[in-house]
């Protein structure tokens, strides 16, 4: 099927407003309706139709009913009451209701993640129309018949040729979770099918890139109108350039969503660890945090990330996240797969009218608490709940204060890096760094422990007297103020 066809979703956000004809309370269970359209089982005389502002759109003798429309703010109950006063015989007035294609995307039933998101209900609030999500990744393929309908090329920072087509598959999968073509009779669905995907390629065909090009793409996406930026990538090390790019984006009103990483460690990768991002961990089909998902003090929420080695829902397939890639439909796992669920939700919230400042708060406060009570280091505020978040956009007091997680226990050990040694004559000076203030201790193999166990710094140095002809072995020990300790690998200084 031609991917340029726009999926049609019939949406109505509530019942018609109350009529001035009669003081009637609209039933709370009126449900989703097509605003202004009514099915009436009797022909309406012209003078009555004129009084009510009713226009006959269609009449069917076999059905014994017709479809009528009015642009007046009339409730179904008010129209029925008025007709009963002036038309003899039994009659009924029904609101016309939307229907949607059932199962037109043949692999939708395998998408347990979209069931977990209750995505069809979320679409009754918003489908992401009028929003732009920048996917900064390995690019996106334009060739798939189920590709996102609205794709816009940003730039290729790998080949620097302007064509951000995907040669890896990762970015295409990510973009699909956000905005796969939906209700088009092919494949699977996406979170926000009517959003526009703005594509930047910063990862090569092997999935490798750099923080510089990531930072460059973040600022470019911001300048080119992105509402949301998806960063399903990361590094154990932060960069001031990358952090500045994220701060530039959020200061410009862009919601930045990033993965926590897949090492199963208690610290979030960068850019997810920057304060201005929404850091996303992963859960499997049973809502438990995936074993590979990084946690730590910077995690915000979790979303479906998949575990292909399990089949919790017993559908005959591993519980990965299914989307189209450059090699067909594939199951992928990872916090990279969880992140676009949150980016897609952010697009739905933007489309529903939430402000950029409200969106992180709405996502956190509406999340389902799946770990210990309140915020915790592995699931953050909990599993995202799109329906609850979208319902909160129009609720009284929505967009309030961020939830207070209470005291956050520091359980993340310092990371030791940049170890170097300089020998001059019979002197050796060792230097190293830590990603947070920590003590400066060294285990000098064969000689014991040396250093300062009371001062907490990031830049460390130790000097020793040595024999110029001998090799020496050391390892660094770093302890932060919370008592978390890390011990580096053995490091050898040769003559």
CATH, residue 295: 3.40.50.200
Q: How far apart are CA 328 and CA 315, in angstroms?
A: 20
Q: List active site positions.
A: 137, 170, 336
Question: Any idea what the Cα angle at residue 388 is, between residues 374 and 352, rounded to 5°?
Answer: 130
In a domain, 193, yes or no: yes
User: Are 41 and 116 found together in one domain?
Assistant: no
Give buried/exposed letters for 122-155 (b at 16+ CB in 10 A, else e).
Answer: bbbbbbbbebbbbbbbbbbbbebebbbbbbebbb
pLDDT of 6 reads: 24
User: Are 376 and 262 found together in one domain?
Assistant: yes
Token digits for 282? 């992963």
**Tens digits of residue pLDDT in 189-243:** 999 999 999 999 999 999 999 999 999 999 999 999 999 999 999 998 888 899 9
In a domain, 296, yes or no: yes
pLDDT of 31 reads: 58
Q: How far apart are CA 164 and CA 199, in angstroms?
A: 6
In a domain, 144, yes or no: yes
In a domain, 64, yes or no: yes
> Which are the contacts of 478, defined by CB distance < 8 A and separation ≥ 6?
413, 414, 416, 434, 438, 439, 440, 441, 460, 485, 486, 487, 488
User: How confident is residue 105, by pLDDT bands cut at 50, 70 and 90?
Assistant: confident
How confident is the prediction for the chain on average, in pLDDT?
86
Q: Give the 3-state secondary structure percentages of the chain, helix then strand then coil, rounded to 5.
A: 20, 25, 55
pLDDT of 52 reads: 87
**Tens digits of residue pLDDT in 25-44:** 323 334 567 888 899 988 88
Question: Any idea what the Cα angle at residue 413 is, between residues 264 and 274, rounded to 5°?
Answer: 75
User: Are 236 and 365 found together in one domain?
Assistant: yes
Say how many C-beta atoms besides its own lie within 10 A of residue 424's C-beta. 8
In a domain, 402, yes or no: no
- The domain tally of the chain equals 3
Domain extent for 480:
416-493
| Global pTM exceeds 0.85 | no
Distances (CA, A) of 266 to 338, 367, 378, 379, 433: 17, 21, 8, 11, 19
Cis peptide before 271 (omega within 30 of 0): yes
> Among 84-93, 364-373, 435-444, whose mean pLDDT is lowest?
84-93
**Tens digits of residue pLDDT in 265-324:** 989 999 999 999 999 999 999 999 999 999 999 999 999 999 999 998 878 899 999 999
Cβ(177)–Cβ(321) under 8 Å? yes
* Over residues 41-56, mean pLDDT: 88
In a domain, 213, yes or no: yes
Identify the three-state secondary structure at position 215.
helix
pLDDT at 63 over 70: yes
User: How confident is residue 394, by pLDDT bands cut at 50, 70 and 90?
Assistant: low
User: Are 112 and 60 found together in one domain?
Assistant: no
**Tens digits of residue pLDDT in 357-381:** 999 999 999 999 998 788 999 999 9
User: Are 269 and 341 found together in one domain?
Assistant: yes
Q: Which helix (H) or strand (E) holds 121?
A: helix 119-122
């Amino acid at each position: 099927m031609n991917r340029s066809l726009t999926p049609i979703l019939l949406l109505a956000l509530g019942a018609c407003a109350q009529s001035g004809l009669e003081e009637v309370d609209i039933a709370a269970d009126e449900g989703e309706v097509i605003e202004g359209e009514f099915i009436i089982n009797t022909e309406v005389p012209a003078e009555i139709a004129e009084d009510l502002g009713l226009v006959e759109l269609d009449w069917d003798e076999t059905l014994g009913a017709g479809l009528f429309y009015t642009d007046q703010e009339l409730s179904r109950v008010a129209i029925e009451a008025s007709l009963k006063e002036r038309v003899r015989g039994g009659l009924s007035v029904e609101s016309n209701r939307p229907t949607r294609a059932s199962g037109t995307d043949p692999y939708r039933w395998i998408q347990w993640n979209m069931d977990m998101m209750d995505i069809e209900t979320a679409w009754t609030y918003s489908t992401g129309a009028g929003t732009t999500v920048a996917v900064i990744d390995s690019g996106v393929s334009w060739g798939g018949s189920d590709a996102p309908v609205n794709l816009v090329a940003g730039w290729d920072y790998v080949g620097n040729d302007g064509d951000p087509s995907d040669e890896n598959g990762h970015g295409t999968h990510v973009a699909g979770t956000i905005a796969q073509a939906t209700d088009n009779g092919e494949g699977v669905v996406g979170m926000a099918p009517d959003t526009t995907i703005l594509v930047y390629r910063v990862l090569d065909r092997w999935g490798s890139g750099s923080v510089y090009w990531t930072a460059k793409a973040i600022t470019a996406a911001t300048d080119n109108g992105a509402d949301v930026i998806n960063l399903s990538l990361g590094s154990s090390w932060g960069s001031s350039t990358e952090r500045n790019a994220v701060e530039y984006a959020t200061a410009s009103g862009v919601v930045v969503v990033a993965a926590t990483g897949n090492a199963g460690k208690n610290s979030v990768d960068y850019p997810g660890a920057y304060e201005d991002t929404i850091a996303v961990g992963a859960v499997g089909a049973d809502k438990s945090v995936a074993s590979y998902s990084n946690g730590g003090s910077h995690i915000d929420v979790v979303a479906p990330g998949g575990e292909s080695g399990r089949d919790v829902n017993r559908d005959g397939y591993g519980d990965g996240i299914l989307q189209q890639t450059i090699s067909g439909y594939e199951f992928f796992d990872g916090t990279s797969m969880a992140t676009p669920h949150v980016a897609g939700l952010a697009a739905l919230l933007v489309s529903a009218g939430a402000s950029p400042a409200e969106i992180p708060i709405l996502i956190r406060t509406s999340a389902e608490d799946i770990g210990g009570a309140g915020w915790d280091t592995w699931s953050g505020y909990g599993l995202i709940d799109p329906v609850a978040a979208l319902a909160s956009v129009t609720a009284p007091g929505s967009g309030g204060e961020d939830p207070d997680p209470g005291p956050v226990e520091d359980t993340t050990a310092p990371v030791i890096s940049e170890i170097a040694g300089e020998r001059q004559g019979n002197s050796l000076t060792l230097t190293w760094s830590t990603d947070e203030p920590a003590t400066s201790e060294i285990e000098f193999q064969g000689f014991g422990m040396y250093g300062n166990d009371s001062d907490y710094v990031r830049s460390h140095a130790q000097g020793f007297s040595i024999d110029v002809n001998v090799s020496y072995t050391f390892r660094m020990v770093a302890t932060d103020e919370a008592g978390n300790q890390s011990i580096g690998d053995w490091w050898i200084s040769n003559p």
